[in-house]
Structure 1
Amino acid sequence: MPGKYTLVYFPVRGRGEATRLLLADQGQQWTEDVVTGEIWQKGDLKKSCLFGQLPKFQDGDFVLYQSNAILRHLARNHGLYGENAREATLLDMVNDGVEDMRLKYVRLIYQNYDAGKAEYIEALPGQLRPFETLLAQNDGGKGFIVGKKISFVDYNLLDILHLHLVLAPDCLASFPLLAGYVQRLNNRPQLKAYLESDARKQRPINGNGKQ
Structure 2
Amino acid sequence: MSAVLYYFDGRGKAEIVRLAMAAANIPFTQEFVREKKQFETMRAEGKLLFGQLPMVEYEGHHLVQSCSMARFFAEQGGLIGSNEEEKLKIDILFEGTRDFNSAFMPYGFLGFKEVLDNAKATAMPRYLPIYNFILSRNGSNGYMVGSKLSLADLGLLEVVLTIEELLGEEELKPYPEVQNFLKTMKSNEQISKYLNSDLRRKKNDEKYVNEVKSVLY
Structure-2-length-normalised TM-score? 0.83
Residues 143 and 204 (structure 1), Cα distance of their counterparts in 2 relative to 1, 3 Å cut: closer
Q: Which residue of 2 aligns with 1:23?
A: 21
Q: Which residue of 1 aligns with 2:185?
A: 185
Q: Which residue of 2 aligns with 1:56?
A: 55
CA contact (8 A) 1:145 1:154 kept: yes
Q: How far is the alpha carbon of 1:205 from its aligned partner?
A: 2.2
> Amino acid of the residue matched to residue 9 of structure 1?
Y
> Amino acid of the residue matched to residue 21 of structure 2?
L
Deviations 1:8-64 (A, max 9, x none): 111112222222223223332112122114445x62324531112111112211221
Match of 2:41 among 31, 37, 44: 44
Q: Which residue of 1 aligns with 2:6?
A: 8
Q: Which residue of 2 aligns with 1:81?
A: 80
Structure 1 unaligned residues grouped into runs of 5+: none
Partner Cα distance (1:22, 1:117) in 2: 25
Q: How far is the alpha carbon of 1:143 from its aligned partner?
A: 2.9
What percent of counterpart residues are identical? 27
Residues 158 and 37 (structure 1), Cα distance of their counterparts in 2 relative to 1, 3 Å cut: farther
SS of the residue corresponding to residue 88 of structure 1 reads: helix
Equivalences, count: 203
CA contact (8 A) 1:56 1:63 kept: yes
Partner Cα distance (2:94, 2:7) in 1: 21
Partner Cα distance (2:24, 2:115) in 1: 37
Q: How far is the alpha carbon of 1:108 from its aligned partner?
A: 5.0
Partner Cα distance (1:87, 1:128) in 2: 21
Q: Tell me which moved more, 25-34 or 68-77.
A: 25-34
Structure-1-length-normalised TM-score? 0.85
Provide the alpha-carbon RMSD of the alignment.
Answer: 2.1
CA contact (8 A) 1:55 1:65 kept: yes
Q: Tell me which moved more, 13-22 or 170-179.
A: 13-22
Q: How far is the alpha carbon of 1:118 from its aligned partner?
A: 2.6
CA contact (8 A) 2:6 2:54 kept: yes
Q: Tell me which moved more, 67-76 or 46-55.
A: 46-55
Q: Tell me which moved more, 65-74 or 19-28.
A: 19-28
> Amino acid of the residue matched to residue 41 of structure 2?
D
Structure 2 unaligned residues grouped into runs of 5+: 211-217
> Amino acid of the residue matched to residue 8 of structure 1?
Y
Partner Cα distance (2:115, 2:72) in 1: 35
Q: Which residue of 2 aligns with 1:101?
A: 100
